[in-house]
Amino acid sequence: MFSKDILTGVILSVSGVWVAWQAQSFPTLGGMKFGPGLFPTIAGSGLAICGLLVLFTGIMSYVRAGETYPETENGTGFGSGKGIGSGQSEASLKPQLSGKAWINSIALILGVILFAAFLDTVGFHLLAFPLMACLLMLYGVNWWKSVLLAVGVTMLVHFLFYSFLHVPLPWGLLEPIAW
Amino acid sequence: MLTDVLMTVLAPENLLIIVLTTIYGCFIGAVPGLTATMAVALLVPFTFFLDPIPAISAIVATTTTAIFAGDISGTLLRIPGTPASAAYVDDAHTISQNGKPRTALLISLLTAAIGGVIGVIILMLVAPQLAHIAISFSSYETFWLACLGLSCAVFVGGGSVPKSFASLFIGLAIACVGIDVAVGYPRYTFGVDDLMDGITFIPAMIGIFAFSEVLRTVQTLKKNETQLQTITEPFFSALKGAMSAIRRFGVTVLRSSLIGTVVGALPGAGADIAAWICYALARRMSKKPDDFGKGSMDGIAAGGSANNAAISGAWTPALVFGIPGDSVTAIAIGVLLLKGMTPGPRIFIDQPELTSALFGSFLVANIMMVPVGMLAIFCSTYILKVPRAVMAPVILLFSLVGAYAISGSVTAIWIVLVLGLMGYLMAKVEIPLAPAILGIVLGKIIEDNFMVSIIKAQGNFLTFFDRSYSLVLGIVTVIIWALLIIRAVREMVAGGKRAGGEPQSGKTKATKSEEGAF
């Protein structure tokens, strides 16, 4: 928990400072103190202050918990090493992600990135079908069901969005056979 | 006028849309992990192609049934289908294990309908009155009102004060993206043309509520899903039991519906918080408080009516002031804006037939829920058999294509991904989402009205307190800020003592439950 708060605090304050710092370069309204930079500055500095408070809370509870378990704590271990908490207090013992959960999540995110990156060039159908089939198989559906479902869902989306709602889903490489 | 309204509400297309979305809401709500907000976010691309009234009917029908259907998996599996069912899941499941799952489900279905109808009636009575006051509001009042909405979200949203405020500022920062109102300067667009108009709201919501939910789902996939309970009682004896229980706890239902509506109307507090509050209250008022958590029908009646009343209550501030009362109305405001309708008092004065038709649709949706819900209770075991391994990728594809459909560009999909990951991480580190959503919705309104006001006032901030309504709103806002600062200081002091890390009992529970749906 506390290592999480420290990391959260750092990320929040760094992004807050960045937002506010960017805003300083925005032009001001003629003759007034206020301009497009005002709200980003407020949001950014607010975020930075909250980040510092979260960081402070995190460090406080880290220090206190450190008094209870002096040797087992590893100050640099937050972030990547989420799982080292053998000696951590109860609050920090949250269920950690298993290897399978990591693979499942990364596959999902990677799938979306590929989908977004190639949608316009490769086209909807050629992306949606393999995306569906791979994810379904990875998540434990057997292969022939996955393939059938992937075809079905791709066609369902095609009819619902392309034929029925007239959303111009890109055909990409299949442009010559578009219908 | 009445006939016009009836014609609109009872038009075959409108009724068909309500039936279809009721079934859809039932299905999504019953699947554990898929929330009512997600159901609405995925529905938006379709409502985009409808007229305003059917579009809003669709959203209302989906939410009301999804919130009820959350009880189906709660009762049969002890996994709340939506966070709003979490308060009384133990009671419902215990009754189900005693061989009466249908009685428990019928109690929650009927009380849900009662709560929803009472909420709509209050909405019908209160909203037009408020609109008459709100019509005289200038940019000063609008500015304060939006500030009040944001502060309220921080105040009631759960979570520690610094984290709630952080969430709010994240939302405001996101709202800053795009061309600014005062001089038209592009902010934080990184040279991407699609970001000139700002972060498109609907893809943002799809990301925060659908993508992050799918991500959580795939992390908890198990080989063998929980065994379903199959023992059940005959339908009619269940109905009889449910009716007599509702008669016995009529007072609870009425009280919970009223309180639920009020809680729902507060920006930042949604159906889940309403259910928790009314459940706790029913327990305190009950003659048999020890039964709560062990199969109390009183508790189910309280929570079941409160969460659906809250759904209706959330529409009051949304329609009158354009300030969403929960995440679903936040999306609904986005939909109305896409259709060129700005929610606000003007709608009530200029187009009374539109608002009446809207209220009519609310009523129809709440009543339609009863037969569809009964059907769902019959088929509940089949609904719960759809494996989540199949649901997750399908929902993913629909959310990606849905986002693309709204804006017609791939940028929307990137927004889904980035904000989805952001929402996921925020929930992971216990930053509440509600203030951020309100910040995104209200950020532009606050900035626009602030700029207009400050230019009118030629830089003099005191004019913000000159008019009577703005004075009152301003003072209330400042009081809430003061209270928040006091709470933050208290938290800091208590936080030091609590450093050993013992769990923060009840409050944490409420915060947890709220992660998914506002």
Instruction: Please give the tally of structural domains in chain B.
Output: 1
More confident residue, B179 or A72: B179
Mean pLDDT computed over every residue of chain A? 78
Predicted local confidence at residue A56, as pLDDT: 87
Best of B218, B450, B507 to disrupt the A interface by mutation (most A CBs within 10 Å)?
B218
Rounded average pLDDT over B361-387:
86
Is the model's pLDDT at A80 over the cut of 70? no
Rounded average pLDDT over A53-81:
61
Best of A34, A53, A89, A126 to disrupt the B interface by mutation (most B CBs within 10 Å)?
A53
Give the pair of three-digit tokens for residue B19: 């039936």
Closest CB from A44, A53, A97 relative to B219: A97
Closest CB from A1, A44, A112 relative to B173: A44
User: Of the given ranges (A48-62, A134-148, B291-305, B344-358), which has the lowest mean pLDDT?
Assistant: B344-358
Rounded average pLDDT over B302-314:
91
Rounded average pLDDT over B330-343:
83
Predicted local confidence at residue B236, as pLDDT: 84
Q: Find, among B171, B129, B132, the residue nearest to B149 by Cα.
A: B171
Going by pLDDT thresholds of 50, 70 and 90, the confidence category of residue A33 is low
Tell me if A108 sits within 8 A of B220, measured CB to CB: no
Predicted local confidence at residue A83, as pLDDT: 35
Predicted local confidence at residue A90, as pLDDT: 37
B495–chain A Cβ distance below 8 A for any pair: yes
Predicted local confidence at residue A168, as pLDDT: 83
Mean pLDDT computed over every residue of chain B? 84
Predicted local confidence at residue A147, as pLDDT: 92
Distance CA A41, CA B173 (A): 9
Is the model's pLDDT at A114 over the cut of 90? yes
Q: Find, among B256, B258, B261, the residue nearest to B279 by Cα.
A: B256
Burial class, B479, CB count within 10 angstroms (exposed 0-12 / middle 13-18 / buried 19+): exposed
Predicted local confidence at residue A86, as pLDDT: 35
Going by pLDDT thresholds of 50, 70 and 90, the confidence category of residue A111 is very high
Under an 8 A CB cutoff, do A167 and B405 touch?
yes
Predicted local confidence at residue A29, as pLDDT: 65
Residue B418 is classified by DSSP as H
Is the model's pLDDT at A77 over the cut of 70? no
Predicted local confidence at residue A91, as pLDDT: 39
Under an 8 A CB cutoff, do A50 and B49 touch?
no
> How many beta-carbon pairs below 8 A join chains A and B?
199
Best of A24, A50, A52 to disrupt the B interface by mutation (most B CBs within 10 Å)?
A50
Going by pLDDT thresholds of 50, 70 and 90, the confidence category of residue B513 is very low
Chain A residue whose CA is closest to B224 = A140
Is the model's pLDDT at B294 over the cut of 50? yes
Tell me if A21 sits within 8 A of A52, measured CB to CB: no
Is the model's pLDDT at B505 over the cut of 60? no
Predicted local confidence at residue A110, as pLDDT: 94
Chain A residue whose CA is closest to B213 = A105
Give A22's contacts in chain B (Cβ within 8 Å): 187-188
- The 3-state DSSP class for residue B187 equals strand
Residues forming a β-bridge with B178: B187
Give A51's contacts in chain B (Cβ within 8 Å): 166
Under an 8 A CB cutoff, do A135 and B215 touch?
no
DSSP codes of every residue in B282-301: HHHH-S-GGGTTSS-HHHHH
Going by pLDDT thresholds of 50, 70 and 90, the confidence category of residue A67 is low
Give the pair of three-digit tokens for residue B29: 């709500």
Return the HEC string of chain A.
CHHHHHHHHHHHHHHHHHHHHHHCCCCCCCCCCCCCCHHHHHHHHHHHHHHHHHHHHHHHHHHHHHHHCCCCCCHHHCHHHHHHHHHCCHHHCCCCCCHHHHHHHHHHHHHHHHHHHHHHHHCHHHHHHHHHHHHHHHCCCCHHHHHHHHHHHHHHHHHHHHHHCCCCCCCHHHHHHCC
Is the model's pLDDT at B450 over the cut of 90? no
Whether the CA torsion B41, B45, B48, B51 is positive or negative: it is: negative
Best of B192, B397, B455, B512 to disrupt the A interface by mutation (most A CBs within 10 Å)?
B397
Predicted local confidence at residue B7, as pLDDT: 78
Going by pLDDT thresholds of 50, 70 and 90, the confidence category of residue B122 is very high
Going by pLDDT thresholds of 50, 70 and 90, the confidence category of residue B128 is confident
Going by pLDDT thresholds of 50, 70 and 90, the confidence category of residue B259 is very high
Under an 8 A CB cutoff, do A141 and B390 touch?
yes
Rounded average pLDDT over B500-507:
38
Domain boundaries defined on chain A: 2-92, 99-177
- Distance from the B251 Cα atom to the nearest Cα atom in chain A, whole angstroms: 40
Rounded average pLDDT over B501-506:
38
Going by pLDDT thresholds of 50, 70 and 90, the confidence category of residue B45 is confident
Predicted local confidence at residue A76, as pLDDT: 36
Give B414's contacts in chain A (Cβ within 8 Å): 116
Distance CA B296, CA B288 (A): 9
Predicted local confidence at residue A88, as pLDDT: 37
Predicted local confidence at residue B116, as pLDDT: 93
- The 3-state DSSP class for residue B266 equals coil
Predicted local confidence at residue A79, as pLDDT: 35
Chain B residue whose CA is closest to A103 = B219
Give B199's contacts in chain A (Cβ within 8 Å): none
Give the pair of three-digit tokens for residue B79: 């996994």
Closest CB from B169, B211, B387 relative to A50: B169
Is the model's pLDDT at B247 over the cut of 80? yes
Chain B residue whose CA is closest to A101 = B219
Give the pair of three-digit tokens for residue B98: 């005693």
Predicted local confidence at residue B232, as pLDDT: 76
Predicted local confidence at residue B357, as pLDDT: 83
Going by pLDDT thresholds of 50, 70 and 90, the confidence category of residue B226 is low
Going by pLDDT thresholds of 50, 70 and 90, the confidence category of residue B66 is very high
Q: Find, among B61, B36, B34, B58, the residue nearest to B46 by Cα.
A: B58
pLDDT more than 90, % of chain B: 18
Is the model's pLDDT at A150 over the cut of 90? yes
Predicted local confidence at residue B223, as pLDDT: 59
Is the model's pLDDT at B504 over the cut of 70? no
